[in-house]
């Protein structure tokens, strides 16, 4: 497994872009209709553009190891007392297995709240030598993703790689300019020496994108901090899985995928699995497209609309009243477990914070994350949940 520097860099970038959103913000594009911001439509949108050429195995491993850490950090941000919808998109570029007609680019997932889908697709990525066209992938992400129009929403692109930033026929300068016109801020992470990244235009890309430039060692080993609360959280996760009731034509497959992503997280490390379990206790981890418990939260009459054959076999002969009782019981059970995980997660984070202070870090990037979160949140009108 690789270093957490990559994802730490992402978070430092996310929450340190303060001045560009205040006095230096560019005017909206004529095509961008700004909607009044409310807690119900505010979004945090993050597009990860990952180089999957043959030298980037370490980068992909880092992304796998920190996906749920990203989610958990983003869930600390509140707008008008509520957690905004969190949407993550995933692109790969620079892979010879992709079509030259597409500039060796593939949209792996659109902006989505389906976090298990993001995990599934991320773990399926494979590297293969190729040409890295940064301008092309930034342009595609800007044009093809469904970005929010609310002024309160955060719209952020992170592109990571290790070759010249100016490759390809599509100018990275024009692509980044178009992103800014739509209120999307572009941040760059060079996998290699800092000076080298500057010389091959990665810093210039960040400067033009009103974002930040970072360099990382993508091949450095991850250092995890085990805590006394990890096993308890894992047991809670096993219990919370039993509260899901699949429905619909894809429900059974989706429920199986949930277990598969648990296994993927555990395969990386116990700490990563624990991070995922914490994510599953959050409001942003919602599966109303296949889970009846989540569905009923948004649609009280959902049970009466579902076809019997689309329910698990053991529930197909239940009456509507009986199903309602079961869903109510599972809802209460899940809420109890989520509260238990929340309490344990806070203790776990306090333990990690304490132990981190005892360890000499190779850079002080991690020490700036909390202050960066608070600074950026204040500018955007967010609060940070402790």
Q: Domain with 211 in it: what CATH number?
A: 3.40.50.410
Q: What is the C-alpha separation between 167 and 134, in angstroms, rounded?
A: 7
Are 55 and 80 found together in one domain?
Answer: yes
Of the candidate ranges 211-215, 311-315, 346-350, the one whose mean pLDDT is the lowest: 211-215
Are 149 and 269 found together in one domain?
Answer: no
Q: What pLDDT shows up at residue 145?
A: 98
Tell me the CB-side half-sphere exposure of residue 54, using CA atoms within 13 A.
Answer: 6
With tokens 């994510």, the residue in question is 279
Q: What pLDDT shows up at residue 378?
A: 64
Q: What pLDDT shows up at residue 40?
A: 62
Of the candidate ranges 316-320, 346-350, 362-366, the one whose mean pLDDT is the lowest: 362-366
Are 17 and 110 found together in one domain?
Answer: yes
Are 135 and 86 found together in one domain?
Answer: yes
The pair of structure tokens assigned to 324 is 């309602």
Q: Could you tell me if 273 and 266 are in contact, meaning their C-beta atoms sit under 8 angstroms apart?
A: yes
Are 158 and 282 found together in one domain?
Answer: no
Are 37 and 150 found together in one domain?
Answer: yes
Number of domains in the chain: 2
Helix (H, G, I), strand (E, B) or coil at 199: helix
Judged against a pLDDT cut of 50, whether residue 160 lies above it is answered with: yes
Are 245 and 165 found together in one domain?
Answer: no
Are 244 and 134 found together in one domain?
Answer: no
Q: What pLDDT shows up at residue 361?
A: 57
Judged against a pLDDT cut of 50, whether residue 369 lies above it is answered with: no
- For 144-149, what is the mean pLDDT? 96
Predicted confidence (pLDDT) per residue in 178-220, tens digit: 999 999 988 888 888 999 999 999 999 999 998 888 887 777 7
Q: How many CB atoms lie within 10 A of CB 31?
A: 8
- For 264-292, what is the mean pLDDT? 95
> Rounded to 5 degrees, what angle do the CA atoms 52, 55, 61 make?
65
- 274 or 383, which is more confident? 274
Are 9 and 109 found together in one domain?
Answer: yes
Tell me the CB-side half-sphere exposure of residue 286, using CA atoms within 13 A.
Answer: 17
Share of the chain above pLDDT 90, in %: 60
Judged against a pLDDT cut of 60, whether residue 371 lies above it is answered with: no
Please give the residue range of the domain that contains residue 245. 230-351
The pair of structure tokens assigned to 216 is 């990382």
Q: Could you tell me if 131 and 168 are in contact, meaning their C-beta atoms sit under 8 angstroms apart?
A: yes
Residue ranges in the chain assigned as alpha helix (H): 5-14, 57-74, 115-123, 134-144, 172-181, 194-199, 202-208, 230-241, 251-268, 270-279, 292-298, 302-305, 320-358, 369-380
Judged against a pLDDT cut of 90, whether residue 326 lies above it is answered with: yes
Are 153 and 78 found together in one domain?
Answer: yes
Are 170 and 32 found together in one domain?
Answer: yes
Judged against a pLDDT cut of 80, whether residue 28 lies above it is answered with: no
Q: How far is CA 53 from CA 60, 189, 194, in A?
A: 10, 15, 20
Of the candidate ranges 111-115, 296-300, 381-385, the one whose mean pLDDT is the lowest: 381-385
Q: What pLDDT shows up at residue 364?
A: 29
Are 320 and 254 found together in one domain?
Answer: yes
Bridge partners (DSSP) of residue 210 are 186
Q: What is the C-alpha separation between 277 and 282, in angstroms, rounded?
A: 9
Q: How confident is the model at residue 341 (pLDDT cuts 50, 70, 90)?
A: very high
Of the candidate ranges 39-48, 61-70, 76-85, 364-373, the one whose mean pLDDT is the lowest: 364-373
Q: Could you tell me if 88 and 198 are in contact, meaning their C-beta atoms sit under 8 angstroms apart?
A: no
């Amino acid at each position: 497994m690789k270093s957490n520097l990559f994802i730490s860099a992402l978070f430092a970038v996310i929450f340190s872009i303060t001045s560009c959103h205040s006095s230096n913000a560019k005017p909206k594009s004529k095509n961008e209709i700004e909607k009044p911001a409310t807690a119900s439509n505010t979004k945090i949108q993050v597009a990860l553009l990952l180089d999957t050429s043959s030298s980037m195995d370490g980068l992909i491993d880092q992304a796998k190891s920190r996906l749920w850490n990203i989610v958990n950090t983003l869930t600390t941000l509140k707008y008008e007392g509520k957690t905004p919808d969190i949407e993550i998109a995933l692109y790969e570029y620079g892979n010879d297995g992709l079509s030259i007609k597409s500039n060796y680019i593939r949209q792996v997932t659109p902006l989505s709240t389906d976090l298990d889908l993001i995990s599934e697709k991320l773990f399926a990525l494979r590297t293969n030598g190729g040409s890295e066209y940064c301008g092309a992938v930034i342009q595609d992400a800007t044009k093809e993703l469904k970005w929010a129009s609310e002024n309160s929403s955060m719209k952020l692109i992170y592109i990571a790689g290790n070759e010249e930033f100016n490759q390809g026929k599509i100018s990275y300068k024009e692509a980044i300019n178009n992103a800014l016109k739509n209120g999307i801020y572009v941040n760059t992470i060079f996998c290699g020496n800092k000076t080298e990244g500057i010389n091959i235009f990665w810093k210039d890309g960040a400067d033009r994108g009103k974002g930040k430039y970072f360099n990382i060692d993508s091949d450095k080993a991850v250092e995890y901090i085990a805590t006394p609360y990890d096993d308890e959280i894992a047991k809670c996760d096993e219990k919370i899985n039993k509260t899901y009731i699949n429905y619909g034509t894809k429900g059974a497959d989706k429920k199986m995928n949930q277990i598969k992503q648990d296994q993927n997280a555990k395969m990386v490390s116990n700490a990563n699995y624990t991070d995922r379990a914490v994510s599953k206790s959050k409001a942003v981890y919602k599966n109303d497209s296949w889970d009846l418990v989540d569905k009923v939260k948004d649609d009280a009459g959902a049970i009466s609309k579902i076809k019997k054959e689309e329910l698990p076999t053991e529930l197909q002969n239940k009456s509507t009243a009986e199903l309602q009782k079961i869903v109510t019981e599972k809802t209460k059970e899940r809420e109890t477990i989520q509260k238990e995980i929340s309490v344990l997660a806070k203790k776990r984070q306090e333990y990690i914070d304490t132990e981190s202070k005892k360890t000499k870090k190779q850079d002080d990037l991690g020490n700036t994350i909390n202050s960066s979160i608070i600074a950026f949140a204040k500018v955007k009108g967010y609060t940070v949940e402790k």
